[in-house]
Structure 1
Amino acid sequence: MTRYYFDIRSGQDLYPDEEGLDLPDQRAAEIEAANSLIGLAKDLPPLDEREDVAIEVRTETEALFRAAFIFEPTRLKH
């Protein structure tokens, strides 16, 4: 098992994960990151007040990947 850390980035703010989770492989870490983003999305402010949110996944020795919700309002042309 490898210990994976799931740091949360909201806009320019970073909230490091100091505990981490022991998971069998990177695929399990990818699923955990996606589920964590879903949980974060439930508490986000309205779109015009929202910043991008990401989970940056790392082990004790290296950064692995970032999973993100990117919010870009679009204006539909009528």
Structure 2
Amino acid sequence: MRRYYFDLRDGDVLVVDEEGLELLDVGAVQEEAARALAGFAWDAARCSAGTDSHSLAIEVRDDVGPVMNVRLAFEIDRKH
């Protein structure tokens, strides 16, 4: 199994994954990236106040280099 690193990006802020995960294949990598991004979006939406836009991404890499990027953009527009 190969080790993959899931770096989190929120706009211009990048949080680098120093530990990574050992996963079987690219399908498992995509599943983990989607799961992580969903949790990341949930946290961002939960902590948001007022009108707020987010551009979130998981940038996946291995020891050789980039593997995939998974992106999500959303906006919260409170009316009250």
TM-score by length of 1: 0.84
- Aligned to 2:63, the other structure's residue is in SS state coil
Distance 1:47 1:4, change over 3 A: farther
Looking at secondary structure, tell me which structure has more strand per residue.
Answer: 2
- Aligned to 2:3, the other structure's residue is in SS state strand
Ranges in structure 1 where 5+ consecutive residues have no aligned partner: 74-78
| Letter aligned with residue 28 of structure 1 | A
The CA deviation at 1:48 is 2.3
- Aligned position for 1:31: 31
Runs of 4+ in 1 over 6 A off after TM superposition: none
- Aligned to 1:31, the other structure's residue is in SS state helix
- Aligned position for 2:19: 19
On the 8 A contact 1:37/1:55 being kept in 2, the answer is: yes
The total of aligned residue pairs comes to 73
- Aligned position for 2:66: 63
Q: Percent identity?
A: 42
- Aligned position for 1:76: none
TM-score by length of 2: 0.82
RMSD of aligned residue pairs (Cα, Å): 1.7
